[in-house]
A and B are shown apart, each in its own frame.
Chain A
Amino acid sequence: MIVVPCPNCGPRSSSDLRNCGEVVDRPNPKNATIEEWRSYLYLRENLASWVKETWYCRTGCRKYFTIERNTATNEIRGQ
């Protein structure tokens, strides 16, 4: 279990938080084609490298925040 730095609560075990996955741009729902929308829903880069992801401090301050995590090494750098 890795340590994830919550900006309010400080470093926490990842089980205290929830990984909401890679940050993806949400298309404008008014003009997006259904294909664009579904690629937003289901397609991810899934890199074995630095990935920007959202976490949710579900047992602490309840903040949603983003970090950069190297998915190959679990190294984490600034928010």
Chain B
Amino acid sequence: MMSRLPQQENEIINRSIELEFTWNGKPYTGYEGDTIASALAASGVEVFSRSMKYHRPRGIMTANHWDPGLAVQVDDEPNVRSGSRRLEANTTVSAQNVWPSLEHDLGTLNKVVGRFISSGFYYKTFMRPRFFWNHIYQRVLRKFAPGGKIHWQTPSTSTYDKRYVHPDVLIAGGGPAGMSAAISAADQGASVLLVEMESGLGGHLRWGDTSEISNMKSLIKEIENRENIEVLTDSTVTGRYDHNWVSVMQRSHSITRERLIKARVGTLVVAPGLIERPYIFKGNDIPGVMLSGAVRRLINLWAVKPGQRAVVFTANPEGDSAIRDLQKAGVEVAEVVDARKGQRIVAAVGKKRVKSVELSDGRSIDADLVVVAAGWTAPTSLLNMAGDKPEYDQKAARYFPKELPDDVLATGGIVGNGDFNAICEHGNETGKIAANRALKLRHQRQTSTAWARNPNTPSPERIEDLRNSLVREEHPECYYSTNQGFVDFSEDVKYSDLVQAAQEGFDSIELMKRYTTATMGPAQGKLETVNAAAVLANSIGTPLAEIGTTIWRPPFAPITLGALAGRIFEPTRRSALQDWHEENGAVPLLAGQWVRPDHYGDANAEALNVRNNVGIIDVTPLGKIELQGKDVSKLLDQVYTNRWESLQIGKVRYGVMVEEDGVISDDGVTGRLDDDRWLMTTTSSGAGAVWEKLEDWLQTSSNDWDVCITPVTGGLTSINVAGPNSRSLLEKLVNDVDLSSESFPYFSVREGTVAEVENCIIWRIGFTGELSYEIHVPSGYALHVWESLLLAGKDLGCAPFGVEAQRILRLEKGHFIVGQDTDGLTKAPTVGLNNLVKLDKDDMVGLPELADSFTNDRLPVLVAVQTDDTKVVPEEAAQILNGNSNEILGRVTSSRMSPTLKRSICLAQVAPEISQPESKITILLATGERVPATVLSGHAHFDPSGSRQNV
């Protein structure tokens, strides 16, 4: 029975603040500063979870983030590591992987059939019969699946965020080496980000003796005194990528639950210390078997008495310190088993708690606590990610870094041993070198551009790496005492499983990992990799140094998907009129980056009003690019399929763009405002891409052309005025432009004043098939012009219309939309552009493919289609089949009910053999029904001669 000790010298709990929470439905209390596990342990909880395969009871083993038995559910968050997660008030904590309860778990039956759940069991067993998989295996296995529950039906109340930082030096690990490196790097003038996984700085000093504590405190004070050191605790460096791109997962932030920090770092200093390794013996997973670090942390940080009577297995000075800590806490140390003298533990006996311990000399000793100090694993993950392949040192019984890139340095326990002063000295030197390299890089980056403020300032002198290596203390190789017990606790992989895997031929460490799943669980090899390699080495008779390790990949510690998703840094674009639309009942439509009015209540009525009176629509997202210079027409000839030089001032031409592969990518109208001044319009979605394409041609192949490109999409608000009354309406508001058909014919452009707003551009073009004008207004005056139009048009029946009405109107006219009626394969002949493609040009984008496409008689053809039953509106993308067969001959690309014609209308891409007018075709509806339809002549369903717009 664990219990809270009297005040310890350097405990980190605040006894004046009690936190209430529940564990499996019962009320518990802990103190501020407790982890969930320490609070539960202080209240006497010994069993925290059931193991994955055998459902064995599991308790505290490492009392830190890596503890394999301490995953719990906290409120709606599954798989919380209670060994490191700080206790919060009023949380609901429960055990995972238990059914029906933690105390009486039916899964322990697996123990009985345990000999069947060995390596490869799943691969071998659930293969056949196939039928069993869905109906039996899956259902049963689901019940026993490990892990917590995601409450996906309730929205998460958490917030996640991202942050970008650019420190000169980032230090992973806030122990004595990391702190010393931070101090010396800061003193060199570098900006330092010091990241510590635990809740406070200090590393192993935190649970050390009085002198270690005072050393720690003085280092922390030094850190606090330096403004250029930022400290992040409860945060983990999770990955290192090319060019020192480093990810940090930050917890315990005041605003967000978890924050992903993306750091571009000058020099990365890796100072993670060492991770204590478990030891393999029979019963090594029974609650009460703890590593020395766990008991020292429990006693010194949280004042928790880990047991009553202990057997201590020690191979190192840290294990010896644990003996002193146990005695200080009033735990009776019944026996010390010294690995350095060849003594071994062979078994722990007990069910939900250790009862006795068997030693290699045959004795059995009663104890409820087994403390194991068997050695260390170097957490080289970040170094591996930087390209290092650490090598095994048999004398020190652990891995050491071998070769690091210039911008990554390692210090502290990961590179060697030493007393406090030696470690600090090494950290100190490392910090100096790190800062030097980072400052050189900073200087190089700040002076690499032509316009750098002080390009000729000297770069810092390079400091050579003359660090004295830390010694590698001898350590006995303690991996296993017998061939029983668990190697991987989180995946329930035993010594015998690895032996079996090796016998079956999975005798390389990477194969063994995948076959047995050892090192693939939540601990990700931090505890078990080296032990697994040692067992493999033993079972195939190869030295451990030649076995290698599995590859350690990011992330070093888990990151929630919420943090990875974080906040999306993409703005929503709104036209200057969007507020008006929303105030007037517009239903919003998200189109690319833009939010637009879909309709104001009745799209059909809006469309009919355009046909009968006059409507106005906000088409601001329409891409607008101003082109100036003598060579604009050359650039247009290059990117459009038709010719431009002859276009007269005040005239407008329609153009289609293709890519180099001949596929249609955009279309729009471009007008000539003056000799050297043109305005191009693009599709709404293509505005950005067209701009970049123009820049590309101008910069990379024609940089001697005199063209200046200015995108003005947001600067000009575009309003389309469409309908038979549009001219009458505009005449009320425009005085300086003659709007008559003779002087301002179809496909012309004028500059003028609209509703007293100067510098407007008025286009006579149309997408709706009605007489229509498009006005580009400087956006600051857009609302005034919009409201003036509505006011002036009151007696003309003027009303706004939305994107849906426009889509209906254009479909009635058969105008195709790039990306809707064309796709990533559609070439010019498909949409009938024969007259708009000038193949006799010397050059243009995609010329050879364009030429080739006109020799291809198998290209699909865009046609207007009407279903024979006027009421049937096929879904867009409905397939067109060959009669009753399943041969696909095309698809519907656009489909609507036409309010003007009171029947359904479609555009479709079809095979050439059914593209002739009057062809009878078959459309497959989503219901599976096949309906007959007929191909029209031309694309227009309504007013094919264009009589309504040419007035």
Contact = CB atoms under 8 A, between A and B. Distances in A.
Contacts, number: 59
A31 to B, nearest CB: 9
Interface stretch (B90-98, B511-519, B696-704): B696-704
Given A8-B449, A9-B449, A64 B700 contact: yes
B696 A64 contact: yes
Interface string A57-71: 010001110000000
A29 B844 contact: yes
Given A11-B448, A41-B661, A54-B700, A64 B243 contact: no
Nearest to A73: B242
B128 interface: no
Contacts of A50: none
A5 B699 CA distance: 18
A1 B843 contact: no
Contacts of B294: none
B695 interface: yes
A5 B448 CA distance: 8
Interface stretch (B207-215, B644-652, B846-854): B846-854
Interface string A14-36: 00000010000010111011100
B852 A34 contact: yes
Interface residues of A, number: 28
B264 interface: yes
B242 A2 contact: yes
B843 A29 contact: yes
B449 A41 contact: no
Nearest to B844: A29
Contact of A29 (B452, B696, B847): B847
Nearest to A31: B848
Contacts of A7: 449-450
A11 B445 contact: yes
Nearest to B709: A62
Interface string B827-863: 0000000000000001110011100100000000000
A56 B692 contact: yes
Contacts of A26: 701
Contacts of B242: 1-2, 74
B302 to A, nearest CB: 40
B256 to A, nearest CB: 22
B245 A1 contact: yes
B408 to A, nearest CB: 14
Interface residues of B, number: 27
B264 A13 contact: yes
Interface in A32-54: 32-34, 37, 40-41, 54
A8 B696 CA distance: 16
Contact of A1 (B241, B445, B849): B241
B55 to A, nearest CB: 43
B660 interface: yes
Contacts of A74: 242-243
Contacts of A58: 692
Contacts of A11: 445, 448
A56 B448 contact: no
B849 A3 contact: no
Contacts of A54: 700
Contacts of A41: 660-661
Contacts of B451: 8
A63 B701 CA distance: 13
A34 B772 CA distance: 43
Nearest to B447: A10
Nearest to A11: B445
Nearest to A54: B700
Contacts of B701: 26
A3 B842 CA distance: 39
Contact of B445 (A2, A10, A20, A64): A10
A54 to B, nearest CB: 7
A68 B607 CA distance: 55
Interface-central residue, B243, B451, B699, B843, by most chain A CB under 10 Å? B243
A56 B696 contact: yes
A44 to B, nearest CB: 14
A64 B699 contact: yes
Contacts of A3: 243, 264
A74 B701 CA distance: 27
Nearest to B700: A64
Contacts of A29: 843-844, 847-848
Nearest to A4: B243
B664 to A, nearest CB: 16
A10 B448 contact: yes
A37 B243 contact: no
Contacts of B700: 54, 64
Contacts of A13: 245, 264
A26 B847 CA distance: 12
A37 B701 CA distance: 17
Nearest to B698: A64
A44 B887 CA distance: 36
A54 B843 CA distance: 22
B109 to A, nearest CB: 49
Interface-central residue, A1, A5, A29, A63, by most chain B CB under 10 Å? A29
Given A29-B844, A29-B847, A1 B696 contact: no
Interface in B691-733: 692, 695-696, 699-701
A2 B241 CA distance: 8
Contacts of B449: 7-10
Given A3-B264, A29-B848, A74-B242, A64 B695 contact: yes
A13 B848 CA distance: 37
B947 to A, nearest CB: 40
Contacts of A9: 449
A40 B845 CA distance: 13
Interface string B10-54: 000000000000000000000000000000000000000000000
A14 B449 CA distance: 17
Contacts of A63: 699
Contact of A62 (B241, B695, B848, B849): B695
A3 B446 CA distance: 14
B243 A2 contact: yes
A8 B452 CA distance: 10
Nearest to A32: B848
A58 B692 CA distance: 8
A56 B700 CA distance: 11
Contacts of B692: 56, 58, 62
B177 to A, nearest CB: 28
Nearest to B262: A1
Contacts of B661: 41
Contacts of A64: 695-696, 699-700
B740 to A, nearest CB: 42
A54 B842 CA distance: 25
Contacts of A56: 692, 695-696
Contacts of A8: 449-451
Interface-central residue, A2, A28, A37, A58, by most chain B CB under 10 Å? A37
A28 B59 CA distance: 73
Contacts of B847: 29-30
Given A10-B445, A74-B243, 5 more contacts: A1-B245, A9-B449, A28-B843, A33-B848, A37-B848
Interface of A: 1-3, 5, 7-11, 13, 20, 26, 28-30, 32-34, 37, 40-41, 54, 56, 58, 62-64, 74
Considering the complex of A and B, which 5 residue pairs feature the smallest CB-CB distances, nearest first?
A29-B847, A37-B848, A3-B243, A74-B242, A10-B449
Interface of B: 241-243, 245, 264, 445-446, 448-452, 660-661, 692, 695-696, 699-701, 842-844, 847-849, 852
15 contacts: A2-B245, A8-B450, A10-B445, A28-B843, A34-B849, A37-B849, A41-B660, A54-B700, A56-B696, A62-B695, A63-B699, A64-B695, A64-B696, A64-B700, A74-B243
